Amino acid sequence: MKTRPGEIWLADLGLAAKTRPVVILSRIDENPPRQLVVYVPLTTQNRGSAYEVNLGAVSCLYQPSVANVQGIGALALTRLERRLGVLHVADMDRIKAALRFALEL
């Protein structure tokens, strides 16, 4: 399975048998050493924090959402269930800026 940065996937995060939408952060790598993907979870709970990126209404999601960069994680590619869509480049740029803030990069 191939993923690209900015794609939105439905993923099994193991939270009480729930699947959640996530944004893929991992770079394109034709020969990765492990079958893992780095992601940021999406949520509808907007707390107005600098660790969140308000995405508003995204065409492939049912409700306005925010990317929670504090929830950054990695999971096995097999836990990705299906691709939902792709974020606009400007939204990915805002997520990257929030990650730089959160991780002091």
Q: Can you give the pLDDT at residue 93?
A: 96
Q: Can you give the pLDDT at residue 59?
A: 86
For 104, the 3-state DSSP assignment is: coil
Distance CA 105, CA 97 (A): 9
Q: What is the mean pLDDT of each run of 10 residues along the chain (105 residues)?
A: 93 82 92 90 90 90 93 94 95 96 93
What does 15-70 look like in DSSP terms, one character per residue? Answer: ETTEEEEEEE-PPP-SS-SSSEEEEEEEES-----TTEEEEE--TTSSS-EEEEGG
For the chain, domains (ranges, CATH) are 7-103 (2.30.30.110)
